[in-house]
Amino acid sequence: MRIAIITGATGGLGMGFVQAIAAMDEIDEIWAVGRNARKLSELKDAFEKVVPVEADLAKDGISFLEEQIKEKTPDVRYLVNNAGIGYFGAFEKMKREEVKAFCRINCSVPAELIAATLPFMQKGARILNVSSASSFQPNPYLSVYSASKVFLKNLSRAVGVELKPRGINVTCVCPGWVDTGMLPRTKDGKEINYGGMISVEQVVKKALKDSMRGKDMSVPGLFAKYFRIYSKVMPTGLIMRQWTWSVRKYL
Ligand SMILES: NC(=O)c1ccc[n+]([C@@H]2O[C@H](COP(=O)([O-])OP(=O)(O)OC[C@H]3O[C@@H](n4cnc5c(N)ncnc54)[C@H](OP(=O)(O)O)[C@@H]3O)[C@@H](O)[C@H]2O)c1
């Protein structure tokens, strides 16, 4: 059984990955991981290959998924580490539980899932880790989010080098703003402007194409590409000041 595992399958980008991978002949089943039973069932109705895996990754969901993998011993062709949570606001206002959940879902879960699936991957398998353009520089008021995405980016690229001899490709996906439910549209009645926002389809199409080409990074859209170069050449302190200035009206 050749499978794809996609976390956060009930969200914007996750659903996009489900749709694109469902069209691939090489995949028999898509294990769609999410917490929302209703959304998972709708996904199953829309795509025959979907096998809903109801699991809360902030809790013990990863153990359940691991048990399923060990029991069914599938040939894992794709692992898409896509589930992630965001928080905009001052670090000192975050609850301890929120900080913990962030580190768990955005960092530990993808790392543990790579470890859990590697024994079930063969040559030609692909791992896609959805990080963010937030990994290109530290973002005040998105502090834990941007730090968590650096973790995922560095893990992705380093493990990718280690897995090259096994013929397993690892691609880190770093979009800027993407039009999904993750982004609040207003803050205290003020409309939020997301510069250079792109669609789910753009991100997914490029990510899968870059994975096929064996690339370790996938940076979709002009905004994220520009930002990546900008953050390499400009002083980090200056970038953080500019960012803080640009988000001040939403604080
Ligand atoms: N949207 C953007 O602008 C943007 C930009 C760069 C990177 N990204 C990254 O893209 C990825 C997907 O985000 P999205 O924009 O598609 O957001 P989204 O629509 O909010 O989807 C997030 C997904 O993660 C799942 N999830 C959250 N907490 C979970 C938990 N405890 N256990 C299991 N699943 C959980 C959600 O499932 P539920 O339905 O159960 O909540 C949902 O399916 C994230 O890693 C995000 O950081 C997004």
pLDDT at 188: 80
Q: How does DSSP classify residue 141?
A: T
| CB-based contact 20:204 (threshold 8 Å) | yes
User: What global pTM score does this model have?
Assistant: 0.97
pLDDT at 208: 98
Best residue for ligand 1 mutational test, from 7, 35, 225 (most atoms within 8 Å of Cβ) = 35
Residue nearest to atom 8 of ligand 1 (CA): 132
CA distance 25 to 159: 27
pLDDT tens column, 44-102 = 999 999 999 999 999 887 899 999 999 999 999 999 999 999 989 999 999 999 999 99
CA of 235 to the centre of ligand 1 (A): 30
Length of the chain (residues): 251
Residue nearest to atom 22 of ligand 1 (CA): 11
**Domain boundaries of the chain, sorted by first residue:** 2-250
Angle between helices 200-212 and 12-22 (to 10 degrees): 50
CA distance 155 to 226: 23
pLDDT at 193: 87
Which top CATH class is 2-250? Answer: alpha beta
Residue nearest to atom 7 of ligand 1 (CA): 132
List the beta bridge partners of residue 190. Answer: 187
In a 3-state reduction of DSSP, which class is residue 67? helix
What residues are in contact with ligand 1 under a 6 Å CB criterion?
8, 10-14, 34-36, 39, 56-58, 61, 82-86, 105, 130, 132, 175, 177-178, 180-183
pLDDT at 157: 98
- Which atom of ligand 1 has the smallest separation from the CA of 86? 47
Residues 6+ apart with CB under 8 A from 114: 79, 81, 127, 155, 159
pLDDT at 190: 81
pLDDT at 5: 98
| CB-based contact 174:218 (threshold 8 Å) | yes
Long-range contacts of 24-30 (CB under 8 A, 24+ apart): 26/2, 26/77, 27/2, 27/3, 27/77, 27/78, 28/1, 28/2, 28/3, 29/1, 29/2, 29/3, 29/4, 29/74, 30/3, 30/4, 30/5, 30/6
Low-confidence ranges of the chain (pLDDT < 70): none
